[in-house]
Amino acid sequence: MSASGASIGKMARGNRGRPSAPAVLASCLALTLAACGLQPQPAAPPPVQTAAPAAVTALPPPPPRKPPPPAAPGPDLARLPPPADEVAPAGGAGFDRLIGFDQSHVTELFGDPRTRADSPPATIWQYAGTDCEVDVYFYLDLQSQTMRVLHYEVRSHDLPERSVQRCYDALVSERRLHDESNAGSDRPR
């Protein structure tokens, strides 16, 4: 061995006679590559058989577009109150008739409320009869800029089927009795 070959051998083995790290890495790489070459290759997957393409069917036409919403509903003319002299007698349509009324029409029907409260966006008028109480809720109608009834609540100790109509009848009757007693006392003697 020549002097240069001996020094290369020493460098490959390192100072203590062991191989150096690059030599170990090169050996591992060589073994890995050799092992890869010895492994059997996986078989090719069998060809996939596909069915003949299904006949293309025509899609149904798209549904018609929704019609535009109707114009902002105005007050239901069937629910508007009759003139003051034609207010329905007791046993009329009941509280459902109030929906859409403005404050002046409710006053014509039941008189002045026992209490008035503001609970934005609503104004609540409370009426008390002999057997029931009613809260009438007014909300601003943006189209007419008038407060109108949109909701009411009836509280009664009577049977539910009869309580609402009885309460309505009692409030209308009490209003009429009040008007008649005031009209009788205002007459000249």
**Residue 89 pLDDT:** 37
Q: How confident is the model at residue 33 (pLDDT cuts 50, 70, 90)?
A: low
**Residue 58 pLDDT:** 72
CA 103 to chain centroid, in Å, comes to 31
Q: What's the CA gap between 187 and 115, in Å, rounded? A: 30
Higher-pLDDT residue of 39, 147: 147
Name residues whose C-beta falls within 8 Å of residue 95's C-beta, 6 or more positions apart in sequence.
134, 152, 154, 164, 167, 168
Strands 146-156 and 132-141: antiparallel
How many other C-beta atoms lie within 10 A of the C-beta of residue 136? 24
Q: Give 112-145 pLDDT, tens digit per residue.
A: 999 999 999 999 999 988 778 899 999 999 999 9
CATH number of 84-186: 3.30.1450
Q: Give 61-111 pLDDT, tens digit per residue.
A: 777 777 766 665 544 444 444 443 334 433 346 888 899 999 999 999 999
Q: What's the CA gap between 116 and 127, in Å, rounded? A: 9
- Rounded mean pLDDT of 163-174? 84
**Residue 95 pLDDT:** 85
Q: What's the CA gap between 110 and 132, in Å, rounded? A: 13
Instruction: List the domain boundaries for the chain.
Output: 84-186
**Residue 23 pLDDT:** 75
- Residues of the chain with pLDDT > 70, as a percent, come to 55
**Residue 92 pLDDT:** 44
Quick check: 31 pLDDT over 90? no
**Residue 140 pLDDT:** 95
CA 73 to chain centroid, in Å, comes to 22
What mean pLDDT value characterizes the chain?
Answer: 73
SS3 of residue 28 by DSSP: helix
